Amino acid sequence: MVKTKLKNEEHLLDFLTEEESLAREQRHFQRLHDVRISVAFIRHAFKKYEKLKAEELELEKWDDYLACDGMPRPDLPSEIRQFLMKLRHEEHMAATDDISWVLLVNERSILSHAPDRQDLTRRNLDVTARPNIGKFYDKTVQGILQTHKRVERVLRNETELLDMPTLRAFELTKETYVLCLDTRGTAQGS
């Protein structure tokens, strides 16, 4: 029985010749070389992608800066809070700015033949003197949504987050939550 095992094992062990070993080694080195070239291409593509991403961010920053739209800078939580307080104040002022119908209405003003007369009838004042709440809320919601979009862009950008102090980045994450709540509150009319 031992002899049969040895006979079977002898058939299984075939030694490589020197030429076969060199050919295998050459194929192995060729594969390693191909892998190194592929890795170099991938690294180059990643570097190019990061460069394009940084350029795109820089262009977006310039567009925001040149817009001069009164929106807060997305990387400063204090400006975002100030912007929200300004919006709340304007909302409060619009809500409390009520029309005094007793002082403004003059139904006889339409009867005047003076060329510079003003139409102070209730029907005309209802259209001209009453604030347009829909436009006001639209402006408020659009401002909050645009600020939220800009803050999200800053939070997604790794290079900008690395340059930012940790506490400020944490505050920005809290401000995005506040912006979402404020949008819901404004949309519901509260």
Distances, alpha carbon 164 to alpha carbons 82, 108, 153, 185, in Å: 20, 65, 14, 30
Q: What is the pLDDT of residues 134-143, one digit of tens each?
A: 777 888 888 8
For the four alpha carbons of 124, 130, 134 and 138, in that order, the dihedral sign comes to: positive
Single-letter amino acid, residue 143: G
Q: What is the pLDDT of residues 42-93, one digit of tens each?
A: 999 999 998 998 888 888 878 877 877 888 888 888 898 899 899 888 877 7
For 49-62, give the DSSP string. HHHHHHHHHHHHHH
What's residue 58's pLDDT? 83
- Reported as a pLDDT band with limits 50, 70 and 90, residue 15 is confident
- Reported as a pLDDT band with limits 50, 70 and 90, residue 1 is very low
CA atoms within 13 A on the CB side of 23: 5
| Spatial CA neighbour of 176 closest among 61, 65, 50, 80 | 80
Helices and strands in the chain, H and E counts = 8, 0
Taking the domains of the chain in order of start, what are their residue ranges? 17-65, 71-99+119-188
